[in-house]
Structure 1
């Protein structure tokens, strides 16, 4: 099926992470040289502008036991979110719950969405695994019971406290904030007042040894010729 070259598209492998191989194909751009195979197919999606949201949920027989949604505000590379603040969104939750119910899903499901300027919600990706949204629903002891499949258990808690990947915010999101001319005071307030996902007063060692982990990732990035964000996801 030929593409309508009057429109813009997002080209990416069907199985990918964090838009690492995403190609933004504009109407005037030449077609890129891609090599899809039966084992590694690619998909062409209409390029949509709007506000981005992510959702994460745990389901048992299609029924939600835990769910959260958050906007993509601060990122490493324009795609990988490093700041997580729950923002309830009826459209996002309804879409995710409807899909889970239709599949009678038991397990974890995370979806990415774009909210168009007219308010419509478009799902652009779905991942059958844990994602960063788990940082938000993990702020209660009930989560372990949900994952263990305890009957009747559900995560019901007050709005979770925002979380951030501090190193990502400081090293990458700040530069993107500068280029995009976001509200810099809001960014600094988020950076300085939001708890890191790794930090714990009872066990601060993992947080304090993060520079060693970053050094290891930097070596992977150099060896594999990846950017540092890509090294985080390399497996």
Structure 2
């Protein structure tokens, strides 16, 4: 594991040990599109679950301690974008802050801040279905056993309501730092691979006209964070 990632896992685990057993430990990992925040979030979640499994062999392996929740499920649907005052711009700018349901994301974080009790029920949250290009409701279950929740997304560390209020409820806020040139190269490859763009030229235009425009807002409007994580271009952490 990358030394930087190992340090973050150690830090998160140590702090998790200090919280009451009826509380959850919430981590927000933000960054610009193409920064590698999704990969980092998944690595951290997997490492925390692996550590918990080793230290607590009495707990069934089917019950991990950490859950991973991407912010993508809080995209507005295409129907909702079409209902906005400027639907053409809304569709073209999908991925911008105003094309997400920030209020619903804040409601989720507030719900996860409630103390755990024997009556605590699973919380179902949306994922994003890339095949239909819309959120998929109630697709991710956050169980009472999930005492660590790792969030990732463009706006989880944005200094603008309601994202600011959600960020303030996190135990840890980490931000993935990456050069815009590196992010652009990753985005071009991703857009072509996912069929979002037909070729590298079209993918580059999308990156320049939307993703990196959003990226400037994300960087310039960041709340205070506990960690700035340098994104590395290597085999272990290459793509978001």
**Short-chain TM bin:** 0.3 to 0.5
What is the TM-score with the length of structure 2 in the denominator?
Answer: 0.34
What is the TM-score with the length of structure 1 in the denominator?
Answer: 0.34
The answer to which structure, 1 or 2, has the higher relative contact order (CA under 8 A, 6+ apart) is 2
Task: Kindly indicate which of the two structures has a greater share of residues assigned to helix.
Answer: 2
Task: Kindly indicate which of the two structures has a greater share of residues assigned to strand.
Answer: 1
Greater Rg by CA: 1
